[in-house]
Structure formats: C-alpha cells, structure tokens
Amino acid sequence: MDVDAGHGAALGGALPTQPGELPLARRLRSLLTWPTNDTDPVSQLVRSHRNIHPSADPSVLRRAYTIAENMHRGQFRKSGEPYITHPLAVAEICADLGMDTTTLVAALLHDTVEDTRYTLQALAEDFGHEVAHLVDGVTKFDKAFYGKAAEAETIRKMIIAAGKDVRVLIIKLADRLHNMRTLGVRSAASRERIARKTQEVLVPLCDRLGIQTLKRELDDVVLLHLEPDEHARIARHVHDRPGWDAYLGDVVAQAKVALRRSRVDAEVSPRPRHLYSIWKDTVAGGHTAPFDLPRIVIVVDGPPTDCYAALGAVHGRWRPVPGRFKDFIASPKNNLYRSLHTSVCGPQDRTVEVLIRTREMHRWAEYGIAADFRFPRSSGSDTARVDQLAWLRRVLDWEQEAPDPAQFLESLRCDLAEAQIQVVADGRQVVLPAGATPVDLAYELGTDRGDHCLAARINGRLAPLSSELEEGDVVEIFTENDAESGFEASAAPRGPRREWLGFVKSPHAQMQINRWFAEHTAPGISIADKVRLGRATIGLALRKRDRGLASDLPLLRLSEELGYPDLETLLVAVFDRAVEPDAVVQQLIDLVDHRQ
Ligand code: MN
C-alpha cells in the first residue's frame, strides 16, 4: 500500500497536470502506471517473489489468496480497508526478504485460523502440514481461556514452533512490521503499548536472527510511536544537512583509489545509519544535536583475508582513530554478524566510520537467517544456520525447565535484552551476558562444571565466584572434581550454593541451579510442595497439548466431579501419580471446551 502511494505521488510530481498538458500527461501517466494498474491483487506479490526465485510457481499463491480473501470477506482493518490487505502486505514483506513460496502461502493465510471459520485441519488438507505448522505457530491463544497468561503462552508457543521451523518467527516479524506501519489509526495508548511490546521482545528476536533489513524498519517505527518528537527531529536532521552527500562521495572515491592501489577488488558505498540508531547514539553520548558520523561500507570480492588487506589500505590512506578498531570476523557477534569496524580521521579531519566485509558476510549482515532462503545455493551459510538454531534450541531447553510461561518470557526477555561480553575459557571465546560471573561461565561450559565449581582465576588471579567478568577476561574454572585444582575437595560433593542465585546473570545458569535444588530436595517433601508440583505437572501436560490455565476454576470443578474433597487433594494425587496427569488434563479440556 505504502509503496503504491509513494509511487503515485512521485508521478504526480514528475507530470504536472496543467490544463493545457492534460491529454499528454494522462497518456504518459497511463503508460507509466500500466504495469501496476492491472486488477490482479496478487500480481505485485508474484512479481517480487519471482524477482528473487525465478522458477517459483505462482499458482499456489493465487489459491491461498483466494481462500484468504474469501474467509476474511466482510472483515475490515481499523483503517477501514478490507482485512485482506493485511495478510497480502505481510506476504509482500516476506517476498521482499526473499522467503520461499511456502512462507508466502502461510503469510497470506496467517490470520485465517485465528479470525475466521477456516480451521487448521482444513488448512492442512488444502495446503499441507508445513503451511499448517507455520500458521499454527503464529496463531494466538484464545484470551477467553488463557486470560492474562495468553500473551506469555502465545510467545512460548511461537518459540517452540520456531524451534521446528524458524520461518514461524519470520512471518511473525513481518506481521508485526505491517501492524506497526499501520498503527497510526489506533489510540495513543494502544500505540504505545504495542510499540513497547515490539521493542521488548520482537526487535531483539529480529536482531538475534540477524535480519537487519527488518530490524531497521521496526526500530524506526517503534521510535516514531514512542518518541514522535525525537523521530521528527532526527529525520529533519538527516534530511537537510548541506554538503553531506558530496562529502561521502569524496570519501568513497578516495577509498576506491586506495583499494585499487593495494589491488583489493571491492565495492564501496555510503552506509547511512537508520534514525533509531542515530537517536540511540545521540542519547547515549549526551549530545544536544543529533550525533551521526559519516559511514561507508567496503564489500570485498575475495575471501575474508581480503578484508584485512582492505583494512591496511584504508589505514594507509587515513590515520585510524585509536581504540575504535573491532574485529567481528575473528569474534562474531552473538547473531553471527561478521565485519571489521574501524574509524579513521578522514578528509577535512572529520571522523569517518568504515565497515569491511566479504559478500557472504554482507548478505548475512542484511538478511541473517533469511539469507538461507534468499540465496539457497550460497555455500557457507549452513554452519551459520546450525549455530543460529543452537541458540533457539537452548531457549527451548529453558522452556522445559520453566513451568510457568511468565517465567519463560522473563528469561527470554533477559537473554535477548542483555548486552554481551566475550571471555576466554578452555582456550576458546565464550559469549556471556554483561555482568556475568564465573558461575555463569561454568554453567556455560557444562552443567557438571557449573554444579561443582569451587573457584575461579581471572587473568591469572584468584577471584570470588561472584566477581563480575569483563570483556576479554581470561578465566579458569576449578571444580571439586578437579584433581589439579589444588583445592581441598570435601568428602562429599556439595553442589551449587543457594546464594549463587543472588548473583548469576544468565537464565541458563539460574535454571540449572534451580533444577539441582529441585532434584536434590525431593525427600521429605512437604504437602505444600506436592500441591505446587502437582499443579506444575498439570501445567506441563496441558502445554504438551498447547493449552494452559487462566484460573483455578476449571480445576476446582474437575476435583468436585472426580469426588475429591478439595483441589489440593487432587493436586497431591497427581504428584503421587495416584491419577495419570494426562487423564486429568483430558477431562479438564473436555470440561472447558464443552462449556464454551
Ligand atoms: Mn496478522
């Protein structure tokens, strides 16, 4: 929609419609707009898709559109547009990212199961299980059944679905991007609420998946809704700064000469920052005026070693600013972003930022996990994909450990939001959340190392287990099983200490410590604990069926129906396995579903 509007406006500007010129202008206009002027609403989508995947079959896209259009007919967006414009726009965002046909089909249908009478089963029959899985992954839980827990449960369900197929997350991000683009028609309060939630969970997820093209737009639209004045101020600043383009043109030209002299084949171009990134640096640096340095990117044709040759050429031409060089090729960021970063004292003594990377790294920097779909035959991204999914798998491990959806969401938020540091241990780089301690590191190295860690040496010095690690620290972890540690091991292994929970930073370490205590305090368990664990058991069994409980009411009713004196007795029976949790859950679901 937005693209069309811009297009039309640009045409209007190019062809002034003065009375005398009208016939010619009209004829020209009809010629120029002809390709997008056909009545087929799917043609733009098909075109974008085939631009990137020339051999894709468009017929299934048309079929999906027809069904979605049919199902959503009579529904309208808050803006008054027919509802179908939304799934179509989401599919177009996915197409522009370079996603495959299956993703586009799922995007067209993504709201049908939630908002229309189309069932998941019918969808699976019409389009196959792959599409059904994708749509199910982005379908929200019913608030009527889940109450306040609905949101946390929905995110957990989405993450679990993404563990099987990461395309779920990409559709969700595209969905949110379009909703954010069209947030203008909502009330101020709901704009702020939705923008905040986007910023807390979806933007960091997007960052973790490395999809910068989406993240840039999400960032900017979040800023627009949360800080409209600041957004306008930065946009104004970027829009009119005299001489900026000429200056960057000069830097690019000089960099090209320097690279040619060093015999490095590369493309050089300006690399503007997006508004949010300028705003963040402005605020962080305490600047009164918007702070934005000129920036260029050098994409070398050859292997990664050429990046260092290019770096040499740039530093030979302009003096580097001390302390600003970063090697994200040797130590990639947690989202697998790789590049060399440096700042130099450029023409007219102005500081210029320079990014240097290979084509492969550039693709990953722009599209992240989506690069696998956009460039299916490109080599080298396989390992990246595996690493990416390793992160997702670990998130799924917590899912098993955290019985409560709110706790899971909190862990996820924590893991996504934290700044990261890299330390060296066991001769390798380990990424940890900022503020992490040796205990976090020990658990990162392995559950056993964590459970039995005794002491740590940081940069050659003994340090308390609660010390905050810093970027670049070299750390040794000693455990009670460690014969060479020089620490007197006590007679019996002692395991983690409760006070560790007070200082560990990573959700992973926290969960592992909790797990240890849960496993080692089972004997002599109190009734209260049995009630709690019985409830958690039911929660887990419910979640296996993608359900949850908003309140105790259904449980209470069931305990009456089953003849228990009260709810607690039923929960203890579940814990003692006097009744099968799955059987209880089945009865619970029957009870709730028939009541609706
Ligand atoms: Mn939607």
Question: What does pTM read for this prediction?
Answer: 0.72
CA 110 to ligand 1 center in whole angstroms:
6
Q: Can you identify the CATH homologous superfamily of domain 419-520?
A: Beta-grasp domain (3.10.20.30)
Q: How far is CA 202 from CA 176, 195, 213, 373, 451, in A?
A: 8, 10, 14, 20, 33
CB atoms within 10 A of CB 263: 9
CA 174 to ligand 1 center in whole angstroms:
9
- pLDDT at residue 4 greater than cutoff 70: no
**What is the per-residue pLDDT for 19?**
42
Query: Can you give the three-state secondary structure of 196-217, one letter per residue?
Result: HHHHHHHHHHHHHCCCHHHHHH
> Cα separation of 70 and 83, whole Å?
11
**What is the per-residue pLDDT for 403?**
66
CA 23 to ligand 1 center in whole angstroms:
42
Main-chain dihedrals φ then ψ at residue 475, nearest 5 degrees = -125, 135
CA 168 to ligand 1 center in whole angstroms:
12
**What is the per-residue pLDDT for 133?**
93
Query: Where is average pLDDT lowest: 257-261, 401-405, 513-517?
Result: 401-405
**What is the per-residue pLDDT for 558?**
87
> Cα separation of 341 and 320, whole Å?
11
CA 482 to ligand 1 center in whole angstroms:
54
CA 386 to ligand 1 center in whole angstroms:
29
Q: For the chain, how are helix, strand and coil distributed in percent, rounded to 5?
A: 60, 10, 30
Residue range 549-582, pLDDT digits in tens? 777 888 888 888 888 878 888 888 888 777 888 8
- pLDDT at residue 2 greater than cutoff 50: no
Mean pLDDT, rounded, for 448-470: 92
Contacts of 417 (CB under 8 A, 6+ apart): 200, 204
> Cα separation of 565 and 228, whole Å?
58
What CATH number matches the domain at 241-383, 3.20.20.70, 3.30.460.10, 3.40.50.2300, 3.40.50.11810?
3.30.460.10
**What is the per-residue pLDDT for 536?**
85
Query: Where is average pLDDT lowest: 222-226, 240-244, 305-309, 516-520?
Result: 516-520
Strand order through the sheet with 453-458: 461-463, 453-458, 475-479
pLDDT more than 90, % of the chain? 50
Output DSSP code: residue 38. S
Total count of residues recorded for the chain: 596
3-state secondary structure of 347: helix
**What is the per-residue pLDDT for 548?**
78
CA 106 to ligand 1 center in whole angstroms:
11
> Cα separation of 290 and 107, whole Å?
38
CA 179 to ligand 1 center in whole angstroms:
7
CA 566 to ligand 1 center in whole angstroms:
42
User: Model confidence at 184, in pLDDT bands (50, 70, 90)?
Assistant: confident
CA 87 to ligand 1 center in whole angstroms:
6
CA 576 to ligand 1 center in whole angstroms:
43
Domain positions in the chain are 7-234, 241-383, 419-520, 527-595
CA 89 to ligand 1 center in whole angstroms:
10
**What is the per-residue pLDDT for 332?**
82
Q: Rounded to the nearest 10 degrees, what angle do helices 101-108 and 59-72 cross at?
A: 10
> Is residue 166 within 8 Å of residue 95, measured between CB atoms?
no
Q: Closest by alpha carbon to 455, among 444, 471, 435, 441?
A: 441
What CATH number matches the domain at 7-234, 3.40.50.300, 1.10.645.10, 1.10.3210.10, 3.30.70.120?
1.10.3210.10
Active site residues: 114-115
Residue range 336-357, pLDDT digits in tens? 889 999 999 999 999 999 999 9
> Is residue 76 within 8 Å of residue 91, measured between CB atoms?
no
> Is residue 588 within 8 Å of residue 555, measured between CB atoms?
yes
The greatest distance separating any two alpha carbons of the chain, rounded to the nearest whole angstrom, comes to: 100
Contacts of 8 (CB under 8 A, 6+ apart): 33
- pLDDT at residue 170 greater than cutoff 90: yes
Q: How far apart are the first and last CA of the chain?
A: 38
Highest mean pLDDT among 135-139, 229-233, 327-331, 377-381: 229-233
